[in-house]
Structure 1
Amino acid sequence: MAFDGITTFAICCELRQRLLGGRIDKIYQPETDEAVLSIRSLGQNYRLLLTCQAAHPRLHITEKKPETPLSPPMFCMLFRKHFSGGKIADIAQIDFDRIIEISVEVLNEMGDLCTKKIILEIMGKHSNLILTDENGRIIDAMRHVTEQMSKFRTVLPGLPYTHSHHNDKANPLLLHDEDSLFCLLEQNGTVLGKSFYQSLNGLCPFSAREICFRAGVSDKALLAELPAAAKQSVYTAFHQLFASVLDQAFSYRIYRESDVPCEFSVLPYFSMEAVSFQEYDTLSTLLDIFYAKQDVQNKILQKSQDLHKLIQTNLERARKKAGLQEQQMADTKDRDQDRIFGELLTANIYQLKKGMTSVSVANFYEEEASSVTIPLDSNLSPSQNAQRYFNRYNKQKRTEAALTEQLAQTYEEISYLDSILSALALADCEKDLEDIRLELHETGYIRKTRKSKKNLSTSKPLEFHTSEGLRVLIGKNNIQNDMLTFRTSSPYDYWFHVKDIPGSHTILFCAGLEFEKDYTMASILEAAALAAAHSKASAGSNVPVDYALRKYVKKPSGSKPGFVIYTHQQTLYVTCATPGKQQRK
């Protein structure tokens, strides 16, 4: 279910109950499109999240502590200036649309009590957070909209605020009879389900399907072909749904398929009765949980796009270089023929005369001593022609030696860049990205590393526990890999890594424990499966994973972060662990 008008109505009801009369203590702006208000209400402290990000714009109370910038943006400073210390007077939804107005009583510059507004417009990529003064003029907005950007409405400081007229949809709470409803539906569409959300504010496709399901009519039915009885059923279902909304008969549910959240609803949706669900006490708790992983993924994806582009560019360059070096290496494989030609010319130099373009001699390197024709340079003497072949042979020999070293370096670079891509896939916080940026700066891929503008929490390795209770730590990037392997673990812990494939260093903490008494092979297999799951082979089965005591793992001097050599290893073939099968802390 999208954050539609029904969800907006429900969250406004909840926020009014919990926040009316509350005081705004602090205001943060963790992201360019996100604000968090710290509100003291009814003896409790709440954090109200307002976000106008394109993917999941919404507002609700959140339990998450924001990672605040070291210096607040200009919008945040204006927000604080005009609304800090203000009292929440009202929280209202406009025309059952996804527009929420939070009225705040504050003292103006003259010391008089006035009402200013915080307005969140939830409109997908056009979402915005707008602040207005007591006269309804815009103080500032998270997204400025100029005349060049929109011919319908300009959103700039100092201009009067007007509600967005991004659609001509009707308020469903004002439709009180069947004729009014179907007259509106027929004006805006021909298919029943689609015409619902094209005609009415607050209805998403999920809710439109629910109305049709309750009426026993297909949401793909054509309006012109609906019989009178079907229309009556549809209107009854429509009326019942919105009566439940007005009565606040809410039931906050997250529906799951294969234990993965797929939808949520604020009412019992009959069309989802066959799907497993979990109920929550408040809508804010539901939204906090439902959007948690998606928010992190979206933020990490946005903030790592430049890193992905950088790594992909360097990977393509390295792979192209490897291809050219491999071709040059192949060209040196025939160098023995030049040596043989040189030796044959030296042995038969008495037959040669300057000006000859070729000579046929017996090839005594073959058992049959068959005749071979050797091309000659007519401008060179016999000895110079022989020396020319020896020089070509020696040059190709030197080329092969140099290419062998260069190819090893190129393959190492490709492996390293692949490990960075794996680290980007595992990154689950901004600190992980900062660590990767620092590593790329130290290895020369980034000239300057920008300093973080936020108070970021420390990034930690992934932590799991095997079914026998042993602790497993997995590095999320090469810096963590080195730290985990050479500082966190002890020499008698087990170290795991997929064989010849980029992946994370994995440590099974078993030092001081006795095998077969304190733990068994099951823990080793589970750790190996986790190592496979956090590698480039995460989608595979029968993945080879090497493991050895950590004391046999060494880091060559001058090698790149995350690169190690190891001995005394054993290899297991495992299927990648499914996240959740091992207990994650």
Structure 2
Amino acid sequence: MAFDGLFIHSLLKSVTPALIGGRLSKIYQPFSQDLILTFRKERKNQQLLLSANAQYPRFYLTKQAISNPAQAPTFVMVLRKYLEGSVLQSIDQVGVDRIVNFHFSNRNELGDQVKLVLSVELMGRHSNVILYDQTSGHIIDLLKRINPDENRARILLPKAKYELPPLNPGIDGFKLSEQDFKKLSVLTPVDFSRKIGGLDRDDRDELIGYLEDDYSYSSFMTFIEQFNKSRAFVLKTPNNKRKIFPYLPYHLELVKESSDPDLNHALVEFYQYQANRDWVKQKATHVEQIVKNEQKKLSRKIIKLHKQLDQAENSEGYRIRGEILNANLAQVKPGMTRIALPNYYDNNHPIEIKLDAALSPARNGQKYFTRYKKLRDSIKHVKEQIKIAQDNLDYFDSIQTAIDNAEPQDIDQITDELTNQGYIRRQQKQKRRKKITEHNLNKFRLSSGKTVLVGKNNYQNDWLTLKKANKTDLWLHVKNIPGSHVILQDKEPTDEDIAEAAEIAAYFSKAKNSAHVQVDYVQDKRVKKPNGAKPGFVIYTGQNSIEVTPEKQRVLSKRIN
């Protein structure tokens, strides 16, 4: 289900009472298409997320802590100038379209009262957030400035007159009278549904189902009145795609997953994973590019080194050719470039030996022995280089796993780590690294009530394992695969505790989508960090192992922060 007009109508039932009369105290733009507006009302803060993301434009109240960028974009500076400290007077929707207007009252530099409108247009790739003066109707600024050549329907630039986008307004179902319904009832249910505004395809199909069951005004109003309630139902399609509705559909091929009496609360959970992935992707673009480049370079280097090792370990042919050549020097004539001689290591079958015409027969033999010795002597060095390269590749795999499991605010720590390791150039005015606390970690509660802590990057892993954990706590990590350090805070866990904690460890690893994942566990006192080791790298002894298959919903249902 998309963020259609009727869905917005339902959501406003939940959002409006929490915001009306609140004073706008803080505005920031954590990501390119997303705004956070913090309202102060009745001694409580309410955070409103406005997103003009082309794939999933949306708005809802959120409690998620999202870091405020050090440098505010131009649009945020304008919003702060005109709206910070203003009072939200009302919120209204344009008919049943995907446009929501937030009406503010504030005073300008002269002390005169001004009325301002922040218009949120949730229209796919045309989504936008526009601030305009209600009295003059002129745009003050907007999130996405559009060149007139790109949009000839209206001008979307500062100082232009604000106009609504081209709309195809259907009938407002909430205002449809029984008499008007009877006039339309000559239409088929399909054609009737097309006359009603604010419906996406799923809503339209559901309405058609209602009318096919009972083509009456009562049936129609039963369907429409569902949008006057602010509740939520999450359902799955046959291919496991999740959809959220403000009502429980009966005529669609969907399976109910969960329900929630509060639509806003359900929306936060519904979009949280996808929004985090999108925000992390935006914030980690530079870091992820560095990681991928290093992974490619190291993978190519390892392949090349293995070829060198294979050549070195199969270098006996050079020694054999040197010996056979020395044993048959008399048969080698000046100027020869190759010769076939009997190989006494292979029943005297002929072996072809390449020669350098500029060298004497003896010097040609010595050349083969020199090549053989050089290759044999290189074996130890090549093996060491392979181990170093593989360790570095494992390290960058651990960084990529940390990015995959990161919250937006965790990317700063990952960037800081790569900077300290010399992979990112240090900025002259780089922020001082924030101290890691338990608040930074993922926290879970097992069925027994015991607590499990999970590091989300290498710095957090080191802090959790080496500083936070008690020596008698149980330490868990997937076997030989990059992943988070996991601490079960109990010195005598049950088998069930270990199995649940191991599933969490498997989920927060590179093997999160795999079955039959081996997880090592041992008391924290047996985990050590070698001198000079990279962040996140530890060694341990005396461990036991357990095999688990991580299941996303089961793991995340235990999360408590």
**What TM-score range do you get, normalising by the shorter chain?**
0.7 to 0.9
Which residue identity is paired with 1:315? Q
Pairing partner for 1:486 from 466, 475, 484: 466
- The number of residues matched between the two structures is 550
Q: What residue number does 1:241 align with?
A: 223
Q: What residue number does 1:124 align with?
A: 124
8 Å CA contact retained: 1:18, 1:42:
no
> Matches of residues 407-446 of structure 1 in structure 2 within 5 Å?
407-427=386-406, 429-446=407-424
8 Å CA contact retained: 1:255, 1:261:
no
| Distance in 2 between residues matched to 1:30 and 1:372, nearest whole Å | 71
> Matches of residues 88-487 of structure 1 in structure 2 within 5 Å?
88-133=88-133, 134-165=135-166, 167-173=167-173, 177=180, 181=184, 192=190, 196=193, 200-216=196-212, 233=215, 237-242=219-224, 248=228, 250-257=229-236, 262-267=242-247, 269-271=249-251, 275=256, 277-280=258-261, 282-347=262-327, 354=334, 374-427=353-406, 429-448=407-426, 460-487=440-467
Root-mean-square deviation over aligned CA pairs: 3.7
TM-score relative to the length of structure 2: 0.84
Which residue identity is paired with 2:108? N
Pairing partner for 2:514 from 522, 529, 540: 540
Secondary structure at 1:409's aligned position in 2? helix
TM-score relative to the length of structure 1: 0.81
Identity rate, percent: 32
| Distance in 1 between residues matched to 2:426 and 2:400, nearest whole Å | 20
Cα 1:158–1:556 shift into 2, 3 Å: same
Secondary structure at 1:216's aligned position in 2? helix
Cα 1:274–1:126 shift into 2, 3 Å: closer
8 Å CA contact retained: 1:24, 1:39:
yes
Unpaired runs of at least 5, structure 2? none
| Distance in 2 between residues matched to 1:455 and 1:75, nearest whole Å | 28
Secondary structure at 1:541's aligned position in 2? coil
| Distance in 2 between residues matched to 1:402 and 1:434, nearest whole Å | 37
Secondary structure at 2:91's aligned position in 1? strand
| Range with bigger deviation, 368-377 or 391-400 | 368-377
Secondary structure at 1:507's aligned position in 2? strand
8 Å CA contact retained: 2:436, 2:460:
no
8 Å CA contact retained: 1:67, 1:456:
no
The CA deviation at 1:64 is: 4.2
Q: What residue number does 1:33 align with?
A: 33
| Distance in 1 between residues matched to 2:162 and 2:447, nearest whole Å | 59
Q: What residue number does 1:566 align with?
A: 540
8 Å CA contact retained: 2:340, 2:351:
yes
Q: For residues 156-209 of structure 1, what are the alpha-carbon distances to aligned partners after superposition, in whole Å with 9 as ceiling and x for unaligned? A: 1111111111x33334346653587589x89xxxx938x946x65311112112
8 Å CA contact retained: 2:67, 2:409:
no
| Distance in 1 between residues matched to 2:44 and 2:549, nearest whole Å | 48
8 Å CA contact retained: 2:119, 2:130:
yes
The CA deviation at 1:473 is: 2.6
8 Å CA contact retained: 1:67, 1:454:
no
The CA deviation at 1:482 is: 2.1
Which residue identity is paired with 2:164? H
| Distance in 2 between residues matched to 1:145 and 1:257, nearest whole Å | 37
8 Å CA contact retained: 2:441, 2:454:
yes
| Distance in 1 between residues matched to 2:478 and 2:45, nearest whole Å | 47
Secondary structure at 1:145's aligned position in 2? coil
8 Å CA contact retained: 2:454, 2:485:
yes
8 Å CA contact retained: 1:23, 1:41:
yes
The CA deviation at 1:61 is: 3.7
| Distance in 1 between residues matched to 2:257 and 2:500, nearest whole Å | 29
Cα 1:33–1:451 shift into 2, 3 Å: farther
Cα 1:473–1:123 shift into 2, 3 Å: same
Q: What residue number does 1:224 align with?
A: none
Secondary structure at 1:523's aligned position in 2? helix
| Distance in 1 between residues matched to 2:314 and 2:265, nearest whole Å | 71
| Distance in 1 between residues matched to 2:366 and 2:255, nearest whole Å | 85
> Matches of residues 6-17 of structure 1 in structure 2 within 5 Å?
6-14=6-14, 17=17
| Distance in 1 between residues matched to 2:42 and 2:528, nearest whole Å | 59
| Distance in 1 between residues matched to 2:342 and 2:36, nearest whole Å | 89
Secondary structure at 1:50's aligned position in 2? strand
8 Å CA contact retained: 1:430, 1:456:
no
Q: What residue number does 1:220 align with?
A: none
The CA deviation at 1:502 is: 2.1
Secondary structure at 1:291's aligned position in 2? helix
| Distance in 2 between residues matched to 1:72 and 1:522, nearest whole Å | 49
Secondary structure at 1:160's aligned position in 2? coil
